[in-house]
Structure 1
Amino acid sequence: MMITRKLLCVARKAAILAAFGAPLAVCGAAIALDCNEDIAKLTKKRQGVIDQLNHQSKGAKNQLDPIAACPKLRALVSAESELVAYLTKNKEWCSVPDEALANINASSAKSNSVANQACKVAAQMKKAQQQQSAGALNAPPSQKLPTGPL
């Protein structure tokens, strides 16, 4: 999709140059608009996941339940990876500042670390729950206490 836009922009510029003999800044606005739309879409997706995580943490002591948060954190890592990939690939084309790219890379790395930790804890919690429920099923029947006078 981006390649098609680039080719269309180059073709427009060539046609304008051929017709008028002077370069016009038609493509600059088109490039900025395309980049802004794509980045806004990716950022909106990322922010949606962050909002869901914030909503989940509003419960007990503002902490996330690792079991519930793990899939959302993985989705955040995925959304940030898409954004990083887009910004890296289109750094020159979209005039992405080095600082912005460094910031989103750092944020993505931190999110990945948090997701790994939460998912590890979630796996441990699930395993403990399974062992606990399996232990309750395999426990010998409790002895009945004698009833009546002693």
Structure 2
Amino acid sequence: MRRTALLAAIGFAALLASAPARAQSCNEDIAAFGQKRNAAIQKLNAISKAHGGKLDPVEACPALRNLSAVEGQMGAYLTKNKEWCNIPEDFLNNFKTGTAKTGGMASQACALAAKVKQMQQNGGLGAAAAPPPVKLPAGPL
């Protein structure tokens, strides 16, 4: 019985000793995701700056998909380690809402980029939307 109590005390002491390591591990993991996310946001800001404050959908599509993927991975980590890392529920809900908005922006940009590429392949506006050719005067002037 004394041996069991000693083993339990050692286990509890090990758990207490791991608490700072656990917090440090969470902070390091979240910081790594944050760096990836910030890099993706900086890329989007550079695209916007290069186009006069507006996002070019063709260039923004892959950057927004990347941002959405990083946020998805970060959200999965936060959800999985919510208790372990002491993540507040309201923070997690706000993060999920932001991630959904990023995904929606990525979908819109990529749909628009696909239309732009299709128009470029069709020679501009496409045959259906092109104005009729101008008739030149015939005969002597």
Structure 1 length-normalised TM: 0.73
Q: 1:84 aligns with which of 60, 75, 78?
A: 75
What corresponds to 2:137 in structure 1? Answer: none
Q: How far apart in 2 are the matches of 1:43 and 1:60?
A: 26
Segments ≥4 residues shifted beyond 6 Å: none
Look up the match of 1:102: 93
Structure-1 residue corresponding to 2:54: 63
Cα RMSD of the aligned pairs, angstroms, is: 2.4
Identity fraction in percent: 42
What count of residue pairs does the alignment treat as equivalent? Answer: 121
Structure 1, gaps ≥5 residues long: 1-13, 136-149
- Aligned partner letter, 1:56: I
Q: Structure 2: which amino acid aligns with 1:72?
A: A
Partner of 1:73 in structure 2? 64
Q: Which has the higher contact order (CA 8 A, sep 6+)?
A: 2
1:26-65 alignment runs, 5 A limit: 26-65=17-56
Question: Which of 2, 6, 9 does residue 17 from structure 1 map onto?
Answer: 9
Match of 1:127 in 2: 118
Deviation at 1:99, TM superposition (A): 1.5
Q: Quick one: distance in 2 between partners of 1:48 and 1:16?
A: 46
Distance 1:45 1:22, change over 3 A: closer
Shift in Å, 1:15: 6.9
Aligned to 1:112: 103
Residue segments in structure 2 that go unaligned for 5+ positions in a row: 1-5, 128-140
1:87 and 1:96 mapped to 2: Cα distance?
7
Give, as a single letter, the amino acid of the residue that structure 2 aligns with 1:38.
D
Q: Could you say if the C-alpha distance between residues 22 and 80 of structure 1 is closer, same or farther in structure 2, counting changes exceeding 3 Å?
A: closer
Q: Structure 1 pair 15/26, CA: closer, same or farther in 2 (3 Å)?
A: farther
* Aligned-pair CA distance for 1:61: 2.8
